[in-house]
Structure 1
Amino acid sequence: MTLIKRLLSLTLTAAICGTAGAQHGLVGFANYSDMGLQGTTGGAGGKTVHVTKREDLSRYAGADEPYIIILDADLKGHYDYNASPKQKHDVISIKSNKTIIGGGNGAHLDSLGLDIKNQRNIIIRNLKITKADPDAISFRNSHHIWVDHCDLSSQKEERDENDGLLDFTYGSSYLTVSWCRFHDHDKTSICSSGTRNLADYGRQRVTYHHNAFINCTQRNPRIGYGLGHIFNDYNERNTLYAIGMFARARVNVENCYFKDVKSAFNQMYSTDFGKNDTYWGFIRSTGNIFENTKNNTEGNSNGFDVSQYYHYDFAMDNASDIPALIAATGCIEGIESDIIPFPGDGAIGITDGTRIFCSDIEGATNYTYRIGTSPDNMQNADPASFKMKPSTTYYWQVTINGGKHDGKISGVFRFNTASAKAHFPTPSDGDRHTALREIDKEASATRCMPLTLRWRKGFDARSYTVYICGNKNMSGAMIKTVNTESYCPTGLKQGETYYWRVDTNRKDGSVEKGDVWSFKSDISHARTGRNEAEHAVRGGLCFPERNAAPGWIAASNDSCCTGDQGPGYMSFVWAGKNGTYDITTAYFDEKSGEGSFSIYVNDNCKDTWTANVNRNTMQTRTTHTVNLSRGDEIRLEFNTMRNMRCRTDYMDIKPAAKKTRH
């Protein structure tokens, strides 16, 4: 879209909706169906309340019931930077199912932050937050969050007291941050809990779009462990770096504008070891403009496929247009009457029985809905009785009836319904390096669990029948009927190609036959003698590491395998003679922390020990009289704990020593 067309669109939207820059409603990961929610609705369905006092804001924000809370006054926290000793930080705690909106042209929270822990389904809009300590907005172990049109800042000379402006940590997921202005701060926004936090593994799905990061030193944002999608953001005078990535995160950066930024992208912690390191992050850079920004502007991977989570092309602008849109970021007038759609704009995978609705607008008596399969062919429809079809894009629009916003018309929203078939398989179809064990992201795992096959829900699924075998025609397949979009098969072997199909058992009793998908795992053979750990098939939080500090870790072959906080494994398949063997494992015991190791043959545990000598030396452990048959899997599992990194050098396999008779 050209700049002139874009500005005309904003002007028209402002005239119709009263809010420039918010015309698409919620776009991004906060729309994704997972973790028991189909998207983010905030306080929709709850009562709308206006508050002007701190105690009222605390009462409604901390209530168990859903609320749409409109803050019509500025509030000042109790924190005093000049007090000695410094006063404890001041926050408002927020519970699930809340929408908090600054009324008018926005509400100002001075030295007062928002704290969200173990909650879900929250919308925060049109707030100006300054000098909050330690964070302006802090999310921990929370999911399905939308932060929109907020102005967040501190003063850099106070950065020792301030931490983040928007931090999303400890297993949080499904966040969208849009049209916000971040400025005059150091550590702006982090999406992870730093390093060595298993809670973030498999979480941290975040979208940032149309935000401005001005005079912010770093973390604009910084993403670890998960998936990050950043489009149409504006970065200016980031004096350390703009976007950081680490801990296997995959980040797509599209059509953004960088001006006077020291370093566009920053690889955290892992420059010594490269892309195989535990802390390496991956980034794809497309369509971005770099003005007076020369350092680290190139991507290093293909990123990830956003279309498997949501659509967004309708909301994306050209990078050259972004500087002119900065004025639309931050707090704006009249956003409390903005019409928020559900399903969210660009949502995908919408299933049968999902009801279309918009958020409640104060004073409205009812709403008129127009729905169709093209924006030019929408007809009046009752969402309660509207019948959707699979694999269809629907467009819809809402008119408010009654109250002071009578006659207001929303923008045109869109969503895609799910295919009648099971779709978007994990592992992806044709994957040639599938790990046969994985970390259980739903629990504080101490070991890796067998691979779980997953897929996206069919449009009107009642249950599924899963077929898996070693041949494409599916003859002799193992068959299992399940009620969820996942299945954990047993007995999978390293190095084999597997074919699988998921048939959808529909609500009307018919069956939608699925496509045949395939995946293959790697294999590494072990034989008598020394088997280097870095040659094993690795999974979980296990990565090869070179000896970057000679004299500290004297690993053979100049390499070892290292594990981050949490579980991982190294796998060999025995290619030697059938017999009884002693297995000696060499591992590095750090000066602090603790790690556990276990040796399995297939799924039978043969030995377990703990690394807690803490001498910063290489140690060995011999597991005696292990029976091995050709084709057996020899698997060394570990779990790193208490700020330790488990490092393994090799497994030396020798025929078992014969006992001497006396």
Structure 2
Amino acid sequence: MVVAGVAFSMNQASAQSGGATGYAALNGGTTGGAGGQVVRATTGTQINAALCNRASASTPIIIQVEGTINHGNTSDVSGSSCDVGSTLIDLKNVSNVTIVGVGSGAVFDQIGIHIRSSSNIILQNFTVRNVKKSGSPTSNGGDAIGMEAGVRNVWADHLTLEASGGESEGYDGLFDMKNDTKYVTLSYSVLRNSERGGLIGSSESDTSNGFVTFHHNLYQNLNSRVPLLRGGIAHSYNNHFTGIVESGINSRAGARIQVDNNYFEDSKDVLGTFYTDERGAWEVNGNLFDNVTWSSPGSENYPAGPNVQSTTSVAIPYSHRLDRAECVPSIVAATAGANRGLKTSDGDCSAQPPTPDPTDPDPTEPDPTDPDPTDPDPTEPPGGANLSLASGAGADGSSKAGGTSYGNVRDGDMSTYWSPSGATGRISVKWDSDVTVSSINIREAAG
């Protein structure tokens, strides 16, 4: 590693993280495949093979996906570390997995993603569309993304989930959680053009789910279930709801949800308990209602408006910054959805580019092995002082192969190198105090 002269503090950079937010950041956190092998996939079969070729079902892996994944390029693969299929992307009995769209974008076309009895999963920067439970082809019970049976810690971020109709056209939910699913965050995503947005709990008796955060999402042209909650605790903040036809946030069967600084527009009955007498509750703060209509209360129909008031209190156990409700449509438009550059809100109504994320080397880079177009010869070490020598840095790591040394990464000698003792490893260069640098050049030993 050769380091030459400008403008970032190493301590500040290491503290920045585009990692999981909301409830997915609790219960030990959600890091996905951080530190694991990075595999490129352009077909569903390659995704299955990446899962099945791991040393174990918990071996960390980052699967970078580009192109269209469909039934024509997805086949079953055998392996001891997976339980996959040919009609869906099945994350069953696995952990420590990241699936991220890269390059020109990733689309799962009529192929749903199923998470069952799994934990520590990151889904980021891709589109899932037109998943059907009836008609042809079918996949995942008609759910774009579905979770069930003891799922823990899922972060779904910068996704676009969409259908082309409702149940009569063969579609079901866009984002469903049931049967003891906990610690989930859906952020900076677009859910649109479906009869059903999503649910927490499959029935009034399935109340073992919860601790779910929804923030900075666009809910557009949906009939209902935005979401439907049966039991459990949830938090919805800084979301933009528009074109909700029948009902929006439906809190039932003892569910409690905190609803903060959302923007509800051109919609009906955006909050309440609907289609049941088993009521839920809500805490509301700072929301804006723009051209929202409310039905009259009655049996199995308990809208929160028009005079929306809190009916419970919810203690949110994580820190978060709230954008003002009036700027939610613009900030969500600038940040939400797949293939939008992974921009996020700065908490003050402005979009910002992604910060370094240890779970993903660079999901917006078309190919992490491509040369830097701004560097005429990226294999040539940069000029200037090697600050890892001049500033007295040290080096350590997770392991080293015979004949290699941690210090070789910073000694300025291109003929020496470090290699881990296994297939993957970690190397660190450390200073005693902040050092300002302009570039970091990392080379494989082969050049």
After TM superposition, give the deviation of residue 103 of structure 1 in Å. Answer: 0.6
Q: Deviations over 1:376-403 (max 9, x none)?
A: xxxx99999xxxxxxxxxxx9x999445
- The answer for the alignment partner of 1:32 in structure 2 is 26
SS at 1:106 equivalent: strand
- The answer for the alignment partner of 1:68 in structure 2 is 62
TM-score normalized by the length of structure 2:
0.64
Q: Alpha carbons of 1:333 and 1:184: their partners in 2 closer, same or farther (altered >3 Å)?
A: closer
SS at 2:293 equivalent: coil
- The answer for the alignment partner of 2:198 in structure 1 is 189
- The answer for the alignment partner of 1:305 in structure 2 is 315
Q: For residue 147 of structure 2, what is the amino acid of its counterpart?
A: F
Aligned pairs for 1:143-292 within 5 A: 143-156=152-165, 159-197=168-206, 200-201=207-208, 203-271=209-277, 279-292=278-291
- The answer for the alignment partner of 1:359 in structure 2 is 359
After TM superposition, give the deviation of residue 196 of structure 1 in Å. Answer: 1.4
Question: Which residue of 21, 34, 52 corresponds with 1:44?
Answer: 34
- How many Å separate the matches in 1 of 2:245 and 2:259? 19
- The answer for the alignment partner of 1:135 in structure 2 is 143
Aligned pairs for 1:111-126 within 5 A: 111-126=110-125
- How many Å separate the matches in 1 of 2:275 and 2:105? 39
SS at 1:29 equivalent: helix
Q: Alpha carbons of 1:129 and 1:188: their partners in 2 closer, same or farther (altered >3 Å)?
A: same
- How many Å separate the matches in 2 of 1:245 and 1:43? 33
Q: Deviations over 1:317-375 (max 9, x none)?
A: 0000011122321013555995565xxxxxxxxxxxxxxxx3352669xxxxxxxxxxx
- How many Å separate the matches in 2 of 1:97 and 1:291? 41
Query: How large is the Cα RMSD of the aligned pairs?
Result: 3.4
Q: Deviations over 1:289-318 (max 9, x none)?
A: 111103233234233110xx2111x3x200
- How many Å separate the matches in 2 of 1:126 and 1:159? 29
After TM superposition, give the deviation of residue 187 of structure 1 in Å. Answer: 1.1
- How many Å separate the matches in 1 of 2:216 and 2:234? 14
Question: Which residue of 318, 321, 328 corresponds with 2:335?
Answer: 328
- How many Å separate the matches in 2 of 1:252 and 1:220? 14
Q: Alpha carbons of 1:360 and 1:403: their partners in 2 closer, same or farther (altered >3 Å)?
A: farther
After TM superposition, give the deviation of residue 56 of structure 1 in Å. Answer: 0.8
Q: For residue 26 of structure 1, what is the amino acid of its counterpart?
A: A
- How many Å separate the matches in 2 of 1:381 and 1:186? 58
2:47 aligned with 1:57:
yes
Aligned pairs for 1:486-505 within 5 A: none
- How many Å separate the matches in 1 of 2:309 and 2:395? 47
Q: Alpha carbons of 1:39 and 1:156: their partners in 2 closer, same or farther (altered >3 Å)?
A: same
Q: Deviations over 1:507-549 (max 9, x none)?
A: xxxxxxxxxxxxxxxxxxxxxxxxxxxxxxxxxxxxxxxxxxx
- How many Å separate the matches in 1 of 2:312 and 2:60? 41
Q: Which has the higher contact order (CA 8 A, sep 6+)?
A: 2
Question: Which residue of 86, 89, 108 corresponds with 1:92?
Answer: 89
Structure with bigger gyration radius? 1
Aligned pairs for 1:605-624 within 5 A: none
- How many residues get paired? 317
- How many Å separate the matches in 1 of 2:214 and 2:177? 12
Q: Is the 8 A contact 1:339 1:361 kept in 2?
A: no
- How many Å separate the matches in 2 of 1:59 and 1:338? 29
> 5+ unaligned residues in a row in structure 2: which ranges?
1-12, 74-84, 133-141, 295-302, 344-352, 363-367, 370-392, 398-433
Q: For residue 314 of structure 2, what is the amino acid of its counterpart?
A: F
Q: Is the 8 A contact 1:78 1:112 kept in 2?
A: no
Q: Deviations over 1:581-632 (max 9, x none)?
A: xxxxxxxxxxxxxxxxxxxxxxxxxxxxxxxxxxxxxxxxxxxxxxxxxxxx
SS at 1:72 equivalent: strand
After TM superposition, give the deviation of residue 188 of structure 1 in Å. Answer: 1.1
- How many Å separate the matches in 1 of 2:223 and 2:395? 50
Higher strand share: 1
- The answer for the alignment partner of 2:388 in structure 1 is none
- How many Å separate the matches in 2 of 1:310 and 1:55? 38
Q: Is the 8 A contact 1:105 1:331 kept in 2?
A: no
Q: For residue 176 of structure 1, what is the amino acid of its counterpart?
A: T
Q: Deviations over 1:217-242 (max 9, x none)?
A: 11111112110100000000110111
Q: Deviations over 1:386-427 (max 9, x none)?
A: xxxxxxxxxx9x9994459xxxxxxxxxxxxxxxxxxxxxxx
Q: Is the 8 A contact 2:167 2:195 kept in 1?
A: no
Q: Alpha carbons of 1:157 and 1:217: their partners in 2 closer, same or farther (altered >3 Å)?
A: closer
Q: Alpha carbons of 1:188 and 1:209: their partners in 2 closer, same or farther (altered >3 Å)?
A: same
Q: Alpha carbons of 1:177 and 1:127: their partners in 2 closer, same or farther (altered >3 Å)?
A: same
- The answer for the alignment partner of 1:344 in structure 2 is none
SS at 2:244 equivalent: coil
- How many Å separate the matches in 2 of 1:360 and 1:101? 8
Q: Is the 8 A contact 2:166 2:172 kept in 1?
A: no
> 5+ unaligned residues in a row in structure 1: which ranges?
1-16, 80-87, 272-278, 342-357, 365-379, 385-395, 405-662
Q: Alpha carbons of 1:219 and 1:128: their partners in 2 closer, same or farther (altered >3 Å)?
A: same
TM-score normalized by the length of structure 1:
0.44
SS at 1:322 equivalent: helix
- How many Å separate the matches in 2 of 1:301 and 1:263? 16
SS at 1:261 equivalent: strand
- How many Å separate the matches in 1 of 2:273 and 2:127? 31
Q: Alpha carbons of 1:401 and 1:168: their partners in 2 closer, same or farther (altered >3 Å)?
A: farther
- The answer for the alignment partner of 1:436 in structure 2 is none
Aligned pairs for 1:535-554 within 5 A: none
Q: Is the 8 A contact 1:145 1:175 kept in 2?
A: yes
Sequence identity (%): 26
- How many Å separate the matches in 1 of 2:215 and 2:318? 14
Q: Alpha carbons of 1:128 and 1:301: their partners in 2 closer, same or farther (altered >3 Å)?
A: same
After TM superposition, give the deviation of residue 160 of structure 1 in Å. Answer: 4.2
Q: Alpha carbons of 1:230 and 1:67: their partners in 2 closer, same or farther (altered >3 Å)?
A: same
- How many Å separate the matches in 2 of 1:187 and 1:359? 31
Q: Alpha carbons of 1:67 and 1:153: their partners in 2 closer, same or farther (altered >3 Å)?
A: same
SS at 1:260 equivalent: strand
- How many Å separate the matches in 1 of 2:442 and 2:174? 36
- How many Å separate the matches in 2 of 1:150 and 1:335? 10
Q: Is the 8 A contact 1:78 1:90 kept in 2?
A: no
SS at 2:98 equivalent: strand
